[in-house]
Amino acid sequence: MDTNKKPISELMTRTVCEVATDFSAERILEVMHRKSVSSVLVVEDRLTLGIVTERDVVRNLNRSSGLKGLACTDLMQAPVVTVEQTENCMDVYHLMGSRRIRHIAVTDAEGLLVGVVSEGDILRDFGIEYYMRFQTVGDAMTADAGLLPETATVAEVVALMDSGRYSCVFAIDAARRPLGVLTERDIVRLCHLHPHPESLILGATMSHPVRAVGREDMLHDAVKAMDQAHIRRLAVVDGDGAMCGMLTHHEVVSGLEGQYVSYLKDMIQRQEEVLESRQAVVGEKALLENILRSATGTAVIATDLACRIVYFNPAVSAMPRLLPFAAPGSDLREVLAGMGWADSRAVLKTDVLRNGKLHSQALAWNVGADRFRAELQMSLLIDEGNQAQGYLLLVR
């Protein structure tokens, strides 16, 4: 697929599972279980007010004494991250990564709900050429998997899911062989069917046997197996059958991060043309070196040597508290001074940041009545000849 050019409207799911604000948590659990959906949107008059995901169910079960006495507003996340249907797929994917979310509501130009997009929607659009970049399961898997003995309680399972942000927990034996798996969707089912699911035992509630693949198996075959079985994760085992990791939709889609670097290069070139700058901010090699380490979960702002902002990534424009940075052509030093960093001019100098030096700065500023804090990291953008061509600011 060509994610650099495709609008998100081509991938989104147009049939959205909606609930109203007067729904109870118990009723929401029933809807999610009956329709086998990973999220529901809380909507009134086509305006999206909140979202409830399987992860929200896990988090609330772990942090409260029970779910069925909760209201919709107790369970949902608000405000909902939204994008317009004309937004580029790559920007939407990166927004998911920077906000650490798996669902985004899609609206029309008036802000009215028209669909929802998930990691699974993106995954289903991949072509064979995408999988050829990784080839084996080992190239895409994560070694970080939630593992517990089958004697663990559901309370222990949801605690591990919540703390580790795992979408599932595998039951293993003494030799680390997978015996079963309990997923976020299973937690929704248990919460719907049982008044107190926390006391249930993993071995009695898990799905088994576990579908497993080897790290040397072809990635395309593994994803095809998930699709055919209508599942979202596989155990990855070594030659002895012991778990060495897992493969989920998230790991496969995360491989797009490398493609995002190429997309950034195209974006910077277009920003340069708009500003009618004849000097490239940074060459291809430097772009890869400087942006690869900062692509996910971070706001990225690039400038030329005169400190004029020439690029900012979607994380900047998507977060109201970072909007001062979304100003192409503006002097970054003036932006930072307006946000409370009065002596930024003393740092934004090539001699201060030479030889790979980084400058970190804590910053706090107000947006209306709200107070925000962030960690800033400043460095030089260096070209192939080791010459400074601009500045790179990371905001976390």
pLDDT score of 182: 97
Condensed to tens digits (0 to 9), the pLDDT of residues 175-209 reads: 999 999 999 999 999 999 998 899 999 999 999 99
pLDDT score of 267: 52
* Per-residue confidence band for 210, with pLDDT thresholds at 50, 70 and 90: very high
Contact (Cβ atoms closer than 8 angstroms) between residue 297 and residue 393: no
Condensed to tens digits (0 to 9), the pLDDT of residues 331-373 reads: 999 888 888 888 888 888 888 888 778 888 888 877 777 777 7
Packed helices 284-291 and 256-274: angle between N→C axes, nearest 10 degrees: 120
Which has more confidence, 144 or 260?
Answer: 144
CA distance 157 to 236: 20
CA distance 83 to 354: 39
Which has more confidence, 270 or 213?
Answer: 213
The pTM is what?
0.62
* Per-residue confidence band for 287, with pLDDT thresholds at 50, 70 and 90: low
CA distance 128 to 9: 22
Low-confidence winner among 84-88, 296-300, 385-389 (lowest mean pLDDT): 296-300
pLDDT score of 295: 47
Packed helices 89-99 and 256-274: angle between N→C axes, nearest 10 degrees: 120
* Per-residue confidence band for 281, with pLDDT thresholds at 50, 70 and 90: very low
CA distance 170 to 178: 6
* Per-residue confidence band for 255, with pLDDT thresholds at 50, 70 and 90: low
- CB within 8 A of 361, min separation 6: which ones? 341, 344, 347, 375, 376, 377, 378
Is residue 294 pLDDT above 50, yes or no? no
Low-confidence winner among 122-136, 184-198, 224-238 (lowest mean pLDDT): 122-136
pLDDT score of 20: 92
Is residue 289 pLDDT above 50, yes or no? no
Domains within the chain, CATH numbers bracketed: 8-118 (3.10.580.10), 128-254 (3.10.580.10), 256-395 (3.30.450.20)
Residue type, 170: F
pLDDT score of 89: 82
| Average confidence score pLDDT of the chain | 82
Ordered DSSP codes for 241-307: S-EEEEEEHHHHHHTHHHHHHHHHHHHHHHHHHHTT--S-SS-HHHHHHHHGGG-SSSEEEEEETT-
- Percent of the chain exceeding pLDDT 90 equals 34
Tell me the average pLDDT across 65-73.
82
CA distance 99 to 298: 9
pLDDT score of 280: 46
Condensed to tens digits (0 to 9), the pLDDT of residues 256-271 reads: 555 544 455 555 555 5
* Per-residue confidence band for 133, with pLDDT thresholds at 50, 70 and 90: low
Low-confidence winner among 42-56, 280-294, 325-339 (lowest mean pLDDT): 280-294
